Amino acid sequence: MSGVPVVILAGGRGTRLAEETEIRPKPMVEIGGFPILWHIMRIYGAAGFDEFVIACGYRGSLIKEYFHTYATRHSDFRVDLSTGGVEQLNSSAPGWTVSVIDTGLETMTGGRLLRLRGLLEGGTFMVTYGDGVADVDVAGLLRFHRSHGRVATITAVRPPSRFGALELDGDRVCDFSEKPQTEAGWINGGFLVFEPRIFDYLDGDDSVLEGVPLERVAADGQLMAHRHTGFWQAMDTLRDKQRLEALWASDRPPWRIW
């Protein structure tokens, strides 16, 4: 969707995945040889979104380096050694524009968004986190958002259970489901859409988007939920990463909609 930027919040420390994040930011942790950040961008890219703004912080230099050298790493090339000029050959890089913005080491999610205000005040924009994938229809999400005319839309998901579910008849197990989607409640699955009026609800670097700002948006009747009942998985722990790796190695990774 040319003209609708996608913001990816990619600045946190990812402490629950310390096995990986001691040396890299969580969005750069790889699934199937590609950073999870790449997988997220491909989800949006498949729907025609081609403008990305990455709000980085912790070890953000690695994200900057990744995109600065992306075209070269995804193409053959010819170098003029006398001038250092590089000609790309057979490039497989998508036609996206990617802005990588340092939004501070300790800045909270709402604060990161607020620091991007100058880039986003022109109209509707998408926001997601740099650690979760889904088979969500992001173009449909945008249409839903525009249909109701409010400030914000959040994608509501039912998270997968961490444990197998048993249905019992006395002591007999009559049904066993390995890690089914939980029946209890909806949670914020990321994949949000905002109007620039969202900035009126944010206040400085300490603003946590998922706290007081969205609570106030909801209290004002300006927050709508787009229900997603398909696949969704955040990568919070090593166990989550291993699950995503196993799914990627399968014939049909459920979030690979490109």
The tens digit of pLDDT for each residue in 9-51 reads 999 988 889 888 999 999 999 999 999 999 999 999 999 999 9
Q: pLDDT per residue over 129-151, tens digit each? A: 999 999 999 999 999 999 999 99
pTM for this entry: 0.90
User: How much is the mean pLDDT over the chain?
Assistant: 92
Residue 133 covered by a domain = yes
Q: pLDDT per residue over 62-94, tens digit each? A: 999 999 999 888 899 999 999 999 898 988 889
> What residues have CB less than 8 Å from 68, skipping those under 6 apart?
none
Residue 143 covered by a domain = yes
Residue 139 covered by a domain = yes
Residue 1 covered by a domain = no
Residue 109 covered by a domain = yes
Residue 65 covered by a domain = yes
Q: Which domain holds residue 214?
A: 6-77+87-249
Residue 134 covered by a domain = yes
Q: Number of structural domains, the chain?
A: 1
Residue 25 covered by a domain = yes
Task: Measure the CA–CA gap between 153 and 4, rounded to whole angstroms.
Answer: 15
Quick check: 160 pLDDT over 80? no
Tokens of 8: 């990816």
The CATH number covering residue 67 comes to 3.90.550.10
